[in-house]
Structure 1
Amino acid sequence: MNSNPKVLILTASYGNGHVQVANTMYEQCKKSGIDNVVICDLYSESHPVFSEITQYLYIKSFSIGKQFYRLFYYGVDKMYNKRMMNLYYKIGHKKLHEIILAEKPDIIINTFPMIVVPEYRRKTGTVIPTFNVLTDFCLHKIWVHENIDKYYVATNHVKEKIIQLGIHPSSIKVTGIPIRPQFEKEADKDELYKKYELDPSKKTLLIMAGAHGVLKNVKELCQSFLSNKNLQIIVVCGKNQSLKETLAPLANAYPDQLKALGYVEKVDELFRITSCMITKPGGITLSEASAIGVPVILYKPVPGQEKENAIFFEETGAAVVVNKYEDIYDTVQEVFSNDELLGSMKDNIHKLHLSDSSSTILEDILKEAAGMYSRKEMKGSVNYY
């Protein structure tokens, strides 16, 4: 393998997390002097209609389609070795073959569990060092395959789960989940309080309402919190313009207590001046929260990896999970009135953070791949690119 290898990063647009991790690894490659890097959304490129439909169903799973997603997430486990998995093995095979012939990658990094990639090695005999970067604090079996060369995971908890499936411990490295570098940089909090016109002497509740299905009746919830004069609320509406417009009259009436924002590019700034936030338990959001040490209230997790993430964070004392809308107000009031609980949650979530994950992962991948190519040169019998 040459000193400037060709890296192919494969991902999928089911939620923003997988793509975000792919982009973070791409930027890390560039930062490390690796110029030949390609990101491919394999399913969108190979089966655009199928991908569009399933992405739509994924989004709907946060509201009306929870039973569908529960069936997919937990059902795949049950049919893991059955005939229906054959379809999943094959999806994207033709496109993957085309990409490999065109790009001739030295390394493949997966930020989404695509069995077609390790299956490609089994079927063709073509060995390209292949690595899985897991994007949650739980494990689904479809990440695991005998032809994956190494796994990079968030916690020892996930590592143990992979070991139980028969993977050797040396093939699993606990690195944390790659996040955007701004979450690990220092920032002047006083300047941020001024920028967002917030009072540093008051507690701040951040509501990440832009993501699919995080919270309903946001306006009513904000109205109920306004009675607490020592609490200021920031609602990030993201691309949900209608929600921002709905909140605008209330925000204008209570400018010192409520801020309704659209899409926020530097959301890490808000994390730094937040006492606690309500969000959905996506792996990336939780990783970013842990980097800064933001206690989280996780509302009504969707069955699947988000529910598993929520359970893990609640069990480690880093989060409170709320499953009923009518319990949110009381939970928030309880958390904000208990400084000892807030402090404990802050400490516990920050303990889950592992810094410089993308750098650690890439450095290890390059070392592992170089070792594989070195062994290949000695054996000289396997088809490598």
Structure 2
Amino acid sequence: MKPKAKSFLIVTASVGSGHEKAAAAVAEGIKKQHPDAVINIIDFMSVKTSWVNAFMKSCYLNMLYFVPNLYEFMYQFTAGKKKGGFVKWAMSSVIVYSMKTLIKKYRPDTIICTHPFPADAVSHLLEHKRADFDSCAIITDYSVHQMWVCPKLNHYFVAIDSMREQLVEFGISKDIIHVSGIPVSEPFCHSYDKVLCRQELGLDTDMPVVLMMGGGLGLGGMDAAMDQLEKIKMKLQLLVIAGRNEDLKKKVDVFAAKSHHNIITWGYTDRVPVMMAASDILITKPGALTLTEAMSLGLPMVLHEPIPGPETDNARFMSEGGMAVWLHSGDSLSKIIGDLLAHPEKLEQMSQNSLKYRRTDAAKEIAQRMG
């Protein structure tokens, strides 16, 4: 008799694209190693999962857009064990019911979480012995926040060594913490020829290419950045990915008609690996998945307008590692981009620093340990 296929439940959250990208990369890795596996990827913050969770997502996004300083306050307020622990307990009491419903529906052998909310719900169920399955959290940033501390999980996968130390300080056993890197999909895990990628995109192979991204939600002050880039006299090819932000895409299209640069605009696209490989510099907000994808391809980065909290930590890690220039208040984007393009040796050093840190086997390692 053929053995029963193993069932995986990967629980993510549609707040930006990073958590979902990590979930998809892990599913890809599991499928390669276990072709018969049953894999379900669920958006924990979708109204289909729970209207309460969806309401929490709406509050989060509105806070980021309208009062980012309040978000920063909440992030710092919940960073400590006592305050953060209380908030986690209060949230667990609400969201644990939607996790119980998912478990009853899918009957998973293994649950993999790429967002702290479902990870905490899983930990809560395991603590009260209401479930029996293997479990893990994949932390999709370059630092650890208290909200990620879920003591009853079986495994943690983190990006860098310092995060293991942070988790140990929070009381997590070192034995269950694996420094795997952040998982990215297979197209970001191999090398490309820059000239061929430019030809594929219909670009001039000799003119500098600057890629601009704001994450899956199209955040990050991209329209203001374009005003700055207009000050650069050298003609550039600007590839602008607006994500799901239709208003931003329309603004960029209007701007492109009067710019002296060659501007090409995309909404949500699956051609990001080719665009990154074709580019000389990436300008982006420091979402961890975008940074990890760029790092995997050795693409130098200029980072601006981080979401207060985790993205600030991401920007710090990338800039201290020599992979990115972090644009602070008062810095001139046009001068920084102009200087980098005028000194290709700086770009080459940033690229080499990225290739030194990259971990393109993260999805494979997670699949092996959880399979």
Q: TM-score, normalised by structure 1?
A: 0.86
TM alignment of 1:176-195, pairs within 5 A: 176-195=181-200
Residue 95 (str. 1) matches residue 112 (str. 2): no
How far did residue 263 of structure 1 move? Answer: 3.1
Residue 224 (str. 1) matches residue 197 (str. 2): no
SS of 1:127's partner is: coil
Name the counterpart of 2:113: 110
The letter of the residue matching 2:142 is: F
In structure 2, the CA distance between the partners of 1:158 and 1:214, relative to structure 1 (3 Å rule), is farther
How far did residue 241 of structure 1 move? Answer: 3.5
The letter of the residue matching 1:223 is: E
In structure 2, the CA distance between the partners of 1:71 and 1:313, relative to structure 1 (3 Å rule), is same
Name the counterpart of 1:212: 219
How far did residue 325 of structure 1 move? Answer: 6.7
Name the counterpart of 2:66: 64
How far did residue 59 of structure 1 move? Answer: 2.8
Q: State the alpha-carbon separation in 2 of the partners of residues 198 and 38 from structure 1.
A: 39
How far did residue 156 of structure 1 move? Answer: 1.1
Q: State the alpha-carbon separation in 2 of the partners of residues 145 and 260 from structure 1.
A: 41
Please give the root-mean-square deviation of Cα atoms over the aligned residues, in Å: 2.5
Unaligned 5+ segments in structure 2 are none
The letter of the residue matching 2:322 is: G
Alignment partner of 2:207 out of 196, 202, 205: 202
Unaligned 5+ segments in structure 1 are 367-385
Alignment partner of 1:293 out of 292, 298, 312: 298
Name the counterpart of 1:33: 35
The letter of the residue matching 1:296 is: M
Name the counterpart of 1:154: 159
Q: State the alpha-carbon separation in 2 of the partners of residues 67 and 183 from structure 1.
A: 34
Name the counterpart of 1:265: 270
Q: State the alpha-carbon separation in 2 of the partners of residues 97 and 250 from structure 1.
A: 49
In structure 2, the CA distance between the partners of 1:247 and 1:9, relative to structure 1 (3 Å rule), is closer
Alignment partner of 1:364 out of 352, 365, 369: 369
SS of 2:79's partner is: helix
In structure 2, the CA distance between the partners of 1:111 and 1:245, relative to structure 1 (3 Å rule), is closer
How far did residue 205 of structure 1 move? Answer: 1.4
1:10, 1:108 within 8 Å by CA — same for their partners in 2? yes
The letter of the residue matching 2:218 is: A
Q: State the alpha-carbon separation in 1 of the partners of residues 103 and 254 from structure 2.
A: 54
Q: State the alpha-carbon separation in 2 of the partners of residues 82 and 363 from structure 1.
A: 32
Deviations 1:267-305 (A, max 9, x none): 111100111111011111011001101111110211111
Alignment partner of 1:302 out of 289, 304, 307: 307
1:7, 1:38 within 8 Å by CA — same for their partners in 2? yes
Q: State the alpha-carbon separation in 1 of the partners of residues 84 and 64 from structure 2.
A: 28
Q: State the alpha-carbon separation in 1 of the partners of residues 85 and 259 from structure 2.
A: 58
Residue 246 (str. 1) matches residue 245 (str. 2): no
2:223, 2:251 within 8 Å by CA — same for their partners in 1? no
What is the aligned residue count?
363
The letter of the residue matching 2:173 is: H
Identical-residue share of aligned pairs (%) = 25
Q: State the alpha-carbon separation in 1 of the partners of residues 218 and 203 from structure 2.
A: 24
